[in-house]
Amino acid sequence: MNIHEYQAKAILKSFGVPVPQGHVAHSPVEAKEIAKSLPGDVFVLKAQIHAGGRGAGHFVGEPASGGVRIVRSAAEAERVACEMMDRVLVTRQTGPSGRLVRRLYVEAGCAIARELYLSLLIDRATRSLVIVASPDGGMDIEDVAARTPERILRVAVDTGLGLMDYQARNLAVGLGLSGRLIQSFAALVRAACNAFARLDAALIEINPLVVTEGGDLLALDAKMGFDDNALFRHADIEELRDENEEDPREVEASRFGLSYVGLDGTIGCMVNGAGLAMATMDIIHAQGEAPANFLDVGGGATRERVTAAFRILLADPQVEGVLVNIFGGIMRCDLIAQAVIAACGEVGLKMPLVVRLAGTNVEEGQAMLEASGLPVTVAQDLGDAARKIVAAVRARRTV
């Protein structure tokens, strides 16, 4: 689960990470009042969407606009907020459809001397928290890594020992910091590590982490993501979820405990087991088409969950055909057949459907599908299923 910048900054501030003063605004008038309350005479208005590249983005119909604006008065803050709120912002991460800006973060400006990069994430290879830092902040870290990999610093943090003082100091020196900034950086990264561990975070990214002309460190931007499987321990974090920023298909799937990720293809997939789901997606690609989703209904899914999963697939406008691939171990094939029949009756089946069942009660499940009167194609194995759904989708396109 991801959260907005203003939420991430509030959390990091509570753990001791220094951030500029700012507040979230839900209207242009509120943006003006916040600017009045902030120190200084330079303010920054930032569109709050779950996507990076906001400053380089543009609002639909205005190619010269951007999702991060500098203003120099409260009146200008109100005027610019009018130009940004309730508009669709397009960035390199949103895709051409963009995201609707429903709120702005109004922040006090600061004089920047240097921009650094800092992030914390889980490295699956070392099974540890890893700190990634670079003296080249304010840029895409992927671009920095591609052009100048030597400027990417990495430190693995031992789970039992935590961040060691020498590691924090070495990072600071590697970033070109000196004097009191070394201790300031060590305190900041230690606070970020504490937040990461305490809140079961999956990502903390501060880009840029700036050194001000006054010699202070400030987290000028912040992203935080959390492990969905640990949210039951953090009800206060779960309340920060903004479903407007999520794929509505994924939101609906989460209500039924389904593992769903929307993709760009046209063949909907419903599978039990993550490994089998990945294999199903791969074999669709091998046949020259692309899956519309990753969908794992789980080994012990109920009829209600399976029906919900099928309903999500059929309601997706980009889906041209559906492949159901079930291995009945814990999951019974007759239960899958019941759910497929129920969902088709509820939503209506207007596209090719190929079902491959194997395992527990497979004969009963196949008999139920054949007796249903639905235009269902039964496949004998995974390769047969992929060939049949691809052929059916392509034939439908030519009609």
Mean pLDDT to the nearest integer, 300-311: 76
Report the pLDDT value the prediction gives residue 65, as an integer from 0 to 100.
Answer: 81
Residues 217 and 252 in one domain: no
Residues 161 and 131 in one domain: yes
- 15 within domain boundaries: no
Look at residues 302, 399, 295, 385 and name the one whose alpha carbon lies nearest to residue 350: 399
Which DSSP category does 228 fall into? G
194 annotated ligand binder: no
The CATH number of residue 74's host domain is 3.30.1490.20
Whole-number percent of the chain with pLDDT over 70 = 98
Q: Are 284 and 232 in contact (CB under 8 A)?
A: no
When pLDDT is cut at 50, 70 and 90, the band that residue 302 belongs to is: low
Nearest to 336 by CA among 310, 370, 314, 371: 310
Domain boundary among the residues 76, 108, 140 is at 108
Residue 309: the pLDDT is: 86
Do residues 270 and 207 both lie within one domain?
no
pLDDT for 211-237, tens place per residue? 999 999 999 999 999 998 899 999 999
pLDDT value at residue 85: 95
272 a known binding residue?
yes
Domain contains 92: yes
* Structural domain that includes position 103: 21-108
Residue type, 365: G
Which segment, 61-65, 281-285, 294-298, is predicted with the most confidence on average? 281-285
Closest CA to 70 of 137, 119, 20, 140: 20
Tens-place pLDDT, residues 333-359: 888 888 888 878 877 788 899 999 888
Exposed / middle / buried, residue 229 (Cβ in 10 Å: 0-12, 13-18, 19+): exposed
Sign for the pseudo-dihedral over CA of 33, 34, 40, 43 = negative
Same domain, 89 and 118: no
CATH, residue 266: 3.40.50.261
Give this prediction's pTM. Answer: 0.81
* Residue 54 assigned as binding residue: yes
Pairing of strands 321-328, 267-271: parallel
pLDDT at 301: 60
Q: Is residue 356 part of a domain?
A: yes
Asked, for residue 260, whether it belongs to a domain, the answer is yes
102 is in an annotated binding site: no
Does 25 share its domain with 168? Answer: no
Q: With respect to residue 11, please indicate whether it lies within any of the assigned structural domains.
A: no
As a whole number, mean pLDDT of residues 60-67 equals 83
Whether residue 205 is found in the same domain as residue 267:
no
Residues 101 and 136 in one domain: no
Q: What is the pLDDT of residue 176?
A: 95
Shared domain check, 122 and 255: no
For 132-181, how does the pLDDT look when each residue is reduced to its tens digit (9 = 90+)? 999 998 877 888 888 998 999 999 998 888 899 999 999 999 999 999 99
User: What's the domain count of the chain?
Assistant: 3
| pLDDT score at 244 | 84
- For residue 335, report the phi and psi dihedrals to the nearest 5 degrees: -65, -40
Could you tell me the pLDDT band of residue 131, with boundaries at 50, 70 and 90?
A: very high
Q: Look at residue 173 in the predicted model and tell me its pLDDT.
A: 96
Domain annotation covers residue 361: yes
H helices of the chain, where? 5-14, 28-37, 74-84, 141-147, 165-174, 180-198, 235-238, 248-255, 274-286, 303-315, 333-347, 362-371, 382-398
The answer to whether residue 1 sits within a structural domain is: no
Within this chain, do residues 230 and 372 fall inside the same structural domain, yes or no?
no
Mean pLDDT of the chain: 91
Q: Are 75 and 131 within one domain?
A: no
Q: Is the pLDDT of residue 203 over 90?
A: yes
In a domain, residue 7? The reply is: no
Same domain, 307 and 207: no
| 46 appears as a binding residue in the annotation | yes
Which residues are part of the catalytic machinery?
A: 117, 205
Same domain, 103 and 149: no
Two structure tokens written together for 200: 């079961």
pLDDT at 84 over 70: yes
